Amino acid sequence: MTRARPMRADARRNYERLLTAAAEAFAEHGEGASLDDIAKRAGVGSGTLYRHFPTRQALLEAAYVDRVEAFAVRADELGARLPPGEALVAWLNELCVGTLQVRGMKALLGSAVTDGAGRAVPACATSVKDAAARLVEAAQREGTLRADVEPMEVLRLAHGLASAAELVGGDGGCGSIRRYVTLLTEGLRPAR
Amino acid sequence: MTRARPMRADARRNYERLLTAAAEAFAEHGEGASLDDIAKRAGVGSGTLYRHFPTRQALLEAAYVDRVEAFAVRADELGARLPPGEALVAWLNELCVGTLQVRGMKALLGSAVTDGAGRAVPACATSVKDAAARLVEAAQREGTLRADVEPMEVLRLAHGLASAAELVGGDGGCGSIRRYVTLLTEGLRPAR
DNA sequence: ACCTGAACACCGTTCAAGT
DNA sequence: ACCTGAACACCGTTCAAGT
């Protein structure tokens, strides 16, 4: 961990402003929001944005860390309250809905579970992965989840379900999430 | 159907050139390939590109119609050769692999199964949907597919699986497709 | 009827000059 | 040490002028 030396007062202020402006802009225009516009909203030169956040993804991550961490916390809450199998399903539902409700979140979580060679994995990825691992392993011990699935697979499939639900018109797909999670859980084979 | 009056010779030539150039560019740079670059490759003014293809999606579709139709044909081939349930699974595998192998195809097929209010549905969507419907219904009659799933759901889920597999590094996800299709087919519950 | 390409607006990124 | 904003390269889109 690089220990952050405290920032100069104006730098810290600009940093905060950029985060606020970014959260607004991403919410309005999604992942592709104009960086120039974000700098303008923050009342900051565009160079300052690049100084603090060298890539779009770095900014996206910084703006959404809290929400991502909240997913991890939520996993443990559900894990404490429900039987493991139910907890996992409930969490997947919430994760997918959150993915679709917060614009730009899908891209961020997607990059968190990507393992391409040259890709930058956001720092917040670890907490989600660990949270998923705890739920997955508990459900497997309970015997309600296939023993051969890995936490990363589950997270990638969740990303896939969100992508699938996104194609449904109306409320941006949130209404279809439950259905798709059920289909994945139970499988496409007929119930016996 | 709008009956197309034959194009002027130069128009037809430009149209063809644009399609070739577009196929090349999309293959190299994916869905977001520069339109200006495509016009340049085709040796055509940028206005001409817009005349023939008012939107990026229109161009993408025109460049890939043949491949999309091939998916539909392939569905019937598999349907004739295999038991319905197996045919569906085999087709989903091929569909997902094709989605990932041909750059830009995922976006095109995605828009084909989207039913957002203002979205333009590509014309080639019908043949894929019909093909999927034939496989789905046959498998349901056979009893190897849940009776309550609709063809569109299956297509959207296939899109989702492709998105999930895409997150795996290496060969662009093709190697993971079979696994993900299996997980969807059998479900995440343990085998009994 | 169709084509061309300049013109415009917009965006990402860099960097010299400033404090 | 950090900020600013002009400068550059690039892209999508339109449209007046041309054939």
Its CATH architecture, for the domain A57-187, is: Orthogonal Bundle (1.10)
Find out whether A108 and A179 touch, Cβ atoms under 8 Å: no
**Min distance A131 CA to chain B CA atoms (Å):** 18
pLDDT interval class at B171 (50, 70, 90) = confident
Q: Is the CB of B131 under 7 A from strand D?
A: no
Question: Measured on CA atoms in the order B50, B51, B56, B60, is the torsion positive or negative?
Answer: negative
B63 shares contact with chain A (CB less than 8 Å): no
Look at residue A173 in the predicted model and tell me its pLDDT. 87
| CB-CB under 8 Å, A167 with B113 | yes
For the residues B112-124, what does the mean pLDDT come to?
81
In this chain, the answer to whether the domains covering B8-54 and B57-187 adopt an identical fold is no
Query: What residue spans of A82-191 are helical by DSSP H?
Result: 84-101, 105-112, 125-142, 151-166, 174-186
Considering only CA atoms, which of A92, A100, A68 is closest in space to residue A149?
A92
Look at residue B1 in the predicted model and tell me its pLDDT. 46
For the residues A111-116, what does the mean pLDDT come to?
89
pLDDT interval class at A118 (50, 70, 90) = low
Backbone angles phi, psi at B122, to 5 degrees: -65, 150
B10 vs A70 pLDDT, higher one: A70
Look at residue A46 in the predicted model and tell me its pLDDT. 97
Q: Is the CB of A32 under 7 A from strand D?
A: no
A118 shares contact with chain B (CB less than 8 Å): no
Q: Is the pLDDT of residue B164 over 80?
A: yes
Look at residue B172 in the predicted model and tell me its pLDDT. 81
* Nearest-CB residue to A189 (from B119, B144, B167): B144
Q: Is the pLDDT of residue A99 over 80?
A: yes
Q: Is the CB of A83 under 7 A from strand D?
A: no
Please enumerate in sequence order all residues whose Cβ is within 8 A of that of A15, keeping only pairs 6 or more positions apart, or say none.
A7, A52
Query: Whole-model pTM?
Result: 0.94
pLDDT interval class at B12 (50, 70, 90) = very high
Q: Is the pLDDT of residue B84 over 60?
A: yes
pLDDT interval class at A192 (50, 70, 90) = low
A58 shares contact with chain B (CB less than 8 Å): no
pLDDT, one tens digit per residue, over A130-161 is: 999 999 999 999 999 999 999 999 999 999 99
Domain ranges of chain A: 8-54, 57-187
Q: Is the pLDDT of residue A1 over 60?
A: no
Select the CATH number that applies to the domain covering A8-54 from these four: 1.10.3720.10, 1.10.510.10, 1.10.10.60, 3.10.450.40.
1.10.10.60
A145 shares contact with chain B (CB less than 8 Å): yes
Helix (H) or strand (E) holding B28: helix B9-29
A5 shares contact with chain B (CB less than 8 Å): no
Q: Measured in angstroms, what separates residue A34's CA from nucleotide D6's C1'?
A: 19
pLDDT interval class at B159 (50, 70, 90) = very high
Spell out which residues of chain A touch residue B147, defining contact as CB-CB under 8 Å: 190
Q: Is the CB of B36 under 7 A from strand D?
A: yes
pLDDT, one tens digit per residue, over A160-171 is: 999 999 999 888
Chain B's closest residue to A139, CA to CA, is B189
Q: Measured in angstroms, what separates residue B11's CA from nucleotide C2's C1'?
A: 7
